[in-house]
Amino acid sequence: RHPLLANRRRSEEREKDLIPLEISLGGNTFWTLILTGPNAGGKTVALKTVGLLTLMAQSGLPIPARENSELPVLKGVFADIGDKQSIENDLSTFSSHASNLAAICDQANKDSLVLLDEVGSSTDPDQGSALAMSLLGLLTERGTRTIATTHHGALKAFAHNTEGIENGSMAFDANTLEPTFLLRLKVPGSSYAFEIARRFGIPSNVVDKAAEIAGSTVGRVESLIQDLDETYRAYAEQLELTEIERKETAERREILQKRLADIEERERKLKQAAEEEANRILSGANALIEKTVADIRESNADKSSIRSAHDGIADAKAKLQRSLDSAPVPTIEVYPGDRVFVNRLGKEGTVINEPSNSGRTLVEIGALRVEVSPGEVEVRQRARTAVTKKPLKIVVDRDDSISLDVDLRGLTFDEASDVVDRYLDDLSMADMERATIIHGKGTGALRQKIGDFLKKHPLVRDQRLGNPAEGGAGVTIVELDTNK
């Protein structure tokens, strides 16, 4: 921002109305910027703003710009702005410009900034344009950062066709004929001379005649530039709306992701609670089995009675397992492309892939993709090709296992014998023939008592101490009688 304008707007409490310049010269962009547009549109103010802020930065003064703004350290700032004609020095307007340009050609280099206002003016337009092209080409080849304003149409084409040189314009509202003071890069600007002349009261017949004299070619070029200007403005407005929508979408996505994380955490807690309840029920069932076995032993039942009880328990377990296996597992038949409603999010989405090994599948909801479990979706609309595809089933697997060893270290014999008894019952029901009982070496007392206990146990066919590779005297290897 120009510091004087910023101060004036601040005093008028209109600082927000001041449009900042966004410009980059040199490096990977371009070295020369040719600014075009209507009179009083802000071209010269832009030129002076760049020059003044550069000199302030060179002097170590703070500048009214964004924090991430960067300015190079320069060895020279050259400007040709305004009319310095002089009767005393026999200088015409063009002569004064030519004198300044000569000094710039002699001294400006890659460490310089050159500012030229109305370059190539105050003389024959064709010759002035040609001189301006040659001068700007020279400065660009040197790598000199240059900004020039002009009304010459030939320089607009020159900027478009020359590497290192770029068009720029100050935006203008063609409907109100008011400047917006917004700098736009890569787009040349129209001078709007006829429109502004008509607005300031020059008779219409004079303006119409002027347009006729200018010729159809010039008229078409100006019309093309004006149309381009309007198109650019429309796209800029659309881009601004798109950016607003993008930010809103990102915010909504963040909210949905947080909501999804909360739901998944609740699901995890519910699953944990369900597992704890299942373990409680299983523990109760095991306790019932153990009590049954204990009652049988206390009644001094013979081996055939014990075997009959075990057979009954095994039959009950087998029936329960068959019941579980035959029970219909809830399935959801979905097809890629199906429209489904995700209950936990309250949103509709589209199925985009086959289920994973765990039975989960992806559903796309706008820009968000969520993984869903069985039972979380309701099919709202089938894909058109669904009838030709094999249904995808989302299923839940079950998996049970019994350890091949039991650790008794740290237990008393009474505690250890109960653990071994339950363990042997579980092994028998699972039709497992061999297991390892870990009792440790220590004094050998627990090992001896466990050995005596195993000798009397009806399910044990044989026992022995482990070999060195199995754990030596610290373990007992048990062989079970699977026929009992």
- Spell out the domains of the chain, with CATH numbers in brackets: 3-191 (3.40.50.300), 333-393 (2.30.30.30), 401-484 (3.30.1370.110)
- Statement: residue 242 has pLDDT above 90: no
106 has a pLDDT exceeding 90: yes
Pairing relationship of beta strands 145-149 and 165-173 according to DSSP bridges:
unpaired
- What's the rounded mean pLDDT across residues 149-166? 89
Task: Report the candidate in 39, 48, 60 with the shortest Cα–Cα distance to residue 21.
Answer: 48
Report the alpha-carbon distance of residue 3 to residue 53 in Å, rounded: 8
Residue 38 confidence (pLDDT): 82
Which has more confidence, 264 or 292? Answer: 264
At 164 the pLDDT is: 93
When pLDDT is cut at 50, 70 and 90, the band that residue 32 belongs to is very high
pLDDT at 53: 92
Of 437, 394, 430, the closest CA to residue 416 belongs to 437
Higher pLDDT among residues 107 and 442, named by residue: 107
Least confident of 12-16, 140-144, 269-273, 370-374: 12-16
Helix, strand, coil distribution of the chain in percent, nearest 5: 50, 20, 35
Q: What is the mean pLDDT of residues 27-51?
A: 87
Q: Which tokens in the block code for residue 305? A: 């009675």
Average pLDDT value over all residues in the chain: 78
Q: Tell whether the model's pLDDT for residue 10 goes beyond 90.
A: no
Q: Stretch 167-195: mean pLDDT, rounded?
A: 79
Mean pLDDT of 463-483: 85
* 328: pLDDT strictly greater than 70: no
Q: What is the mean pLDDT of residues 42-51?
A: 89
The two structure tokens encoding residue 288:
């019932």
pLDDT-based confidence at 25, cuts 50/70/90? confident
SS3 170: strand
Q: What pLDDT is attached to residue 391? A: 45
Distance CA 437, CA 446 (A): 11
How many residues make up the chain in this entry? 484
Structure confidence at residue 136 (pLDDT): 95
- What pLDDT score does 77 carry? 94
**Measured distance CA(21)–CA(2) in Å, rounded:** 9
Q: Which DSSP letter does residue 329 get?
A: P
Looking at residues 297-309, what average pLDDT do you find?
62
pLDDT of 102: 93
3-class DSSP state of 366: coil
When pLDDT is cut at 50, 70 and 90, the band that residue 89 belongs to is very low
Among the ranges given (57-71, 372-386, 408-422, 466-480), the one the predictor scored with the smallest mean pLDDT: 372-386
Q: Tell me the range of 1-5, 136-140, 246-250, 296-300 where mean pLDDT is highest.
A: 136-140
Lowest mean pLDDT among 265-279, 339-353, 444-458: 265-279
Q: What pLDDT score was predicted for residue 471?
A: 81
Q: Of the given ranges (199-208, 288-297, 302-311), which has the lowest mean pLDDT? A: 302-311
Mean pLDDT on 42-66: 89
User: Is residue 295's pLDDT more than 90?
Assistant: no
Phi, psi at residue 443, to the nearest 5°? Answer: -80, -15
- How much of the chain, in percent, has pLDDT values that exceed 90? 19
pLDDT at residue 407 above 50? yes
Residue 326's pLDDT band (boundaries 50, 70, 90)? very low
Q: Which of 155, 197, 182 is nearest to 39 (CA)?
A: 197
- pLDDT at residue number 76: 93
